[in-house]
A and B are shown apart, each in its own frame.
Chain A
Amino acid sequence: MRNPLLNVSNITRDFAGLRANNGVSLSVDAGEIVGLIGPNGAGKSTLFNIIAGALPPTSGQIVLDGEDITALTPPERCKIGIARTFQVVRSFDSMNVVDNVIVASLLRERAVVEARRRALEILEFVELEARAETLAGDLTSPEKRRLELARALATKPKLLLLDEVMAGLTPTEAQRGVELVKRVRGLGTTIIMVEHVMEIVMPLVDRVIVLDLGRVIAAGRPTEVITDPKVIAAYLGDRKRA
């Protein structure tokens, strides 16, 4: 039995009066693409941010590759191999595209020269090399998403957390996005994607984890989960909300 790469145990997160995550447990194997889905307010963002280190859990544990990382800050998590993208793209607008990626690749390369070379390679990988010298703020929206991805990849992550990267894309752009995610997995990176756009996510991921009202209500292959009556009920609103 393989040891999972990521083990999330019994994560609970309370905000004033609201329990956003309630005893959430899941595990992800190395090399998997896992989709994290659920209706609005399910607690996906909260869980995502807890795994990324941006939010501390009220209780529970996160273990990466056998190490307990629950107390680590985002920079520390990045160093041990967890990278994330932001839902609303946060680029370094005073710098150009290459420099944006260099900031990230400097985590793994000592010399700026090496970091720059790697950055340019990564830009080619995400098909953004033509815009290398453009100011980050001047990119189009899909290009910004690819920049986010490039930056995250530059930190050589074991685990990549993608936050709604497919939202608002045209079908062509979405198709390119799917190809890109597959290529990233091809590098050996494990991926967790929070998504809303079902048609894109379901064919892409190996496994799906469904959250609703702070709990995991289903987990398994996309084909299984999609026919699960609990999941259907959650999305169609056939239950009482507080």
Chain B
Amino acid sequence: MQTIAPGADSSHVSKYATRALQHRRHQLIIVSCVAALMACVPLVITDIYAQNILVLTLLYVSLSQSWNILGGYCGQISLGHAVYFGIGAYSTVIFYMVGGVIPWIGMFCGAALAGCVALALGYFCFRLAGHYYTIATIVVAEAALVLFLNWEWAGAALGLQVPFGSDSWKTLQFGRSKLPYYYFVLALALSTWLVTWLIEGARWGYWWRAVKDDAEAAGSLGVSIFRSKMAASAISAFFTAIGGGFYALFVSYIDPQSVFGFQISLLIALPAVLGGIGTLWGPAVGAILLIPIGEATRSYVGGSGTGTHLIVYGTLVMIVALLRPQGLVSLFGPMRFFKTQKQ
């Protein structure tokens, strides 16, 4: 049919293409260095309390990264991601307690279940515009909370206690040291980063960002908006649920409020907002900032009686949303390595 012949100046073409590929490779190099660094950290920082914060921070890095796959790339702001977190947590524990299924498989089942729930919800809710969708996600998470609070078989308000056993990688239980948990969650955070990196370089990444920017224009160029959102939603839910399963094993006790509560949904979304929605490094930057600050203000400034951590979170979010909605990563402008593809 028609062909657009390569122009005489195709050297410009290949120069740009090479640069783009190099950029991608640089990102991999950076994350490898970061990973190597992070792997050494707990050998240096041995205080149990600090290690606890590290684990939580990395957990939220992976949770927020997962959230970002839907919120940042397809533009669907969910404030009810706790529903997937909770499904992952409860599935892991229940499969273990009732069926004796080892947590590794239980986590995977929980994640698959969360993915299915995401597809079902997406089917009905993706037709909702902007705010309607966000509110629907809040309602769904709240409904899950109320359900589990009253579900006797699953422990209702009292929650579930993971049965104690000896230290073992099979059951992911470690009584004395936090290190194994740390490495697990580090691997999880790296996995979610990798998934995001793969998406960014693949067709889905381009299509999802287009859908986020202008869904109708994307549609006119052949992008299936609905299918993009469904795929993003399922992947996002999958990894969020794994995080939930990990959390259940890490703290050994879960109850509806602690895994389905709105504060979870908020803490999952905020790091991405702060760090940069739709960017590769944004959620990590945001989580590293928010989680330690939250823990510090919660514990050092007079316990949970004062609302200081709320004031801090709230102010940070407002400032970033108003002044720098692209997120904090955009501050590293001159350092190209820290940006996503030509952000």
Contact = CB atoms under 8 A, between A and B. Distances in A.
B342 A99 contact: yes
Interface string A66-87: 0000000111001100011010
A92 B214 contact: yes
B212 interface: yes
B216 A90 contact: yes
Contacts of B210: 92, 95, 100, 103
Given A94-B213, A133-B16, A121 B222 contact: no
Contacts of A189: 2
A152 B212 CA distance: 19
A121 B13 CA distance: 7
A50 interface: no
Nearest to A161: B220
Contact of B213 (A83, A93, A107): A93
A73 B104 CA distance: 43
Contacts of A168: none
Given A96-B342, A103-B206, A156 B221 contact: no
Nearest to A108: B222
A84 B220 CA distance: 7
A92 B217 contact: yes
Contacts of A120: 12-13, 16-17
Interface string B202-219: 110011011011101111
Interface string A150-187: 01111110100000000000000000000000000001
Interface in B187-244: 201-203, 206-207, 209-210, 212-214, 216-225
Nearest to A81: B1
B3 A187 contact: yes
Contacts of B214: 90-92
B302 interface: no
Nearest to B5: A121
Interface in B1-60: 1-7, 9-10, 12-13, 16-17, 20-21
Interface residues of B, number: 39
B17 A116 contact: yes
A198 interface: no
Given A112-B201, A188-B1, A92 B224 contact: no
A187 B2 contact: yes
A54 interface: yes
A116 B213 contact: no
Contact of A117 (B17, B213, B223, B343): B17
Interface stretch (A56-64, A124-132, A233-241): A124-132
B299 interface: no
B23 to A, nearest CB: 11
A124 B13 contact: yes
B13 A106 contact: no
Contacts of B177: none
Contacts of B343: 94
Contacts of B12: 120, 124, 129
Smallest CB-CB A-B distances: 5 pairs: A187-B2, A78-B222, A92-B213, A90-B217, A107-B222
